[in-house]
Structure 1
Amino acid sequence: MKKILSILCFLICVNAFSQILSSNLEKKTLALGEVNHFIIKIDNLNNQQVSAAAKNELLPFHFEEIKDSIGTQPNLYERKIDFSVYEEGKFTIPELEFKVGDKVLKTIPYEIEVINTAQKGDQINDIMNNKEVKLEPKDYWELYKWYVLAALSVIALIVVIFMIVKWGRNKKSSPVVATNQTLKELDSLKKKKYIEEGNYRSFYVELLDISRKFITKQYNVPADVLLTDDLVQLMKTNNTISRDNEKIVEDVFLRGDLVKFAKTFPDKEIMEKDFTDIREFVKRSSNDLEFENLRKDV
């Protein structure tokens, strides 16, 4: 009997001092543009800090956040989000992570259906009866002149491009120029002190943007339009980037994607390492290009 009482007391104490996360979604079926309410609560904080995605960045991009309020007390964290969706279909609020001390708590996922409440048979009445208007040549010109001018501009652009390709010489930008420019951009990113302030989302967004522009310019790879998985696959197939540099790009880009969607929370040491690795990759890129030129010559 004493053992049972001891176990019960232990369980009660554990539950009393552990954090409890709860979430509530007001509606699971919405009309287009209708406002919905989403609430997350964490009890029994015991003065511990809560880390989560920044304001207005918690929900996926389909959800237009109207209001995002965060309330904190010594034992309670409460976040209330008002949002709307402006596309028809089914959308998912995934598991959202909240870090309390060293412990990561997750919400349950929610599926929301967004419908258009306009009925197919609804009748639309004109305010006035339609009038038949006779148009003169001048009227047609006013109606279609911008289309004509746009068509002429496109034709002129095609002619210019044809002349450049046939007779002109495209000047390739020097790899050294691209490298130095990117190193300056990385230095500017470092001065923003995102790492020191723990602003991991802004840090990875800008780091990946700088890296994508550099890869596009330096290696003639469309990194600025490809998804991370497609970019990694392309780098592995064309062998333009060395294996070491390719591994750095893959690791940093995949981690950056997880950070942007609040799937992971890197610490300062990881952020510093990713910054250093990208900087070294940029500085070593000329070696990749020299090897690629030799390979083409052979």
Structure 2
Amino acid sequence: MKRLPFILFLLLSIFSFSQTLSSKLDKQTLALGEAGTLHIQISDLQAKDVLSAPKNELLPFHFEEIKDSINKQLNTYDRVVEFAVFEEGKFTIPALDFRVNGKVLKTIPYDIEVINTAQKGDEINDIMKNKQVDLGVQDYWEMYKWYILGLLIVLAVIFLIYQLIKYGRRKNSDPIVMTNQTLRELEKLKKKNYIEDGNYRLFYVELLDISRNFITKQYKIPADVLLTDDLIDVMKLNNTISPENEKIIEDIFLRGDLVKFAKVFPDQQDMQTDFDQLKTFVKRSSKDLEIEQLRTGV
């Protein structure tokens, strides 16, 4: 019996120094987007720390926290969370944990129903009447300037690409370019020593191929598909190649055909002469084209 007062005193001391958590939800039925408030209070703190979820992260996913304020005093802790829900249905705020000096305190869970208060056929009125604003040139420029600048950049890039392609084609079709290229091909033929070895058949086959390719590209005459007699006739009618150069081409092609069909057997002097004559013709071709441009007024 003597111990009973002591036990009662001990229990009263424990309860008198323990923390008390209370929570209050102002509404359990909300309209879509309507604000609700959850108030949480802990008393008898005795300057102890309170650990809980960070600000704006206390409530679960569907609850959009609008405001989360915490006020902690020496003996009290107040936290007020203002929130809204933007979906219809029933939602639950679960028991929330608050740790005080290693002890976990929990709020009670709350069920909330969110309803859509708008009715079908309700008239929706604007808060303010629409105001017509006159836009000036500067306003339209601010609205569309990036589209205009982007279009100008695209057009500039297209124009630049076109000029590069045009310049590249003009450069590749320049008579001097074709002349130099053919002269290099003749030098390669010279290094094969067909003349020194007396290999007249291969020499004339390659010499005529170089000649036909050059005439086709330089004078725009289809020498690569015409027979020798037809080519000579076309050159005379075309009147682009000078008479001196026509004579060189005619002699080389006629002799080349005779060699290919084994009717003549040229010596080294004839081969060297034809080689030198073709080289002279190639070098003089640009002069032919200049005269032709003056004649036609191009």
Global fold match (TM > 0.5): no
Instruction: Choose 1 or 2 for highest CA Rg.
Output: 2
TM-score bracket for this pair, using the shorter chain length: 0.3 to 0.5
TM-score by length of 2: 0.43
Q: Which has the higher contact order (CA 8 A, sep 6+)?
A: 1
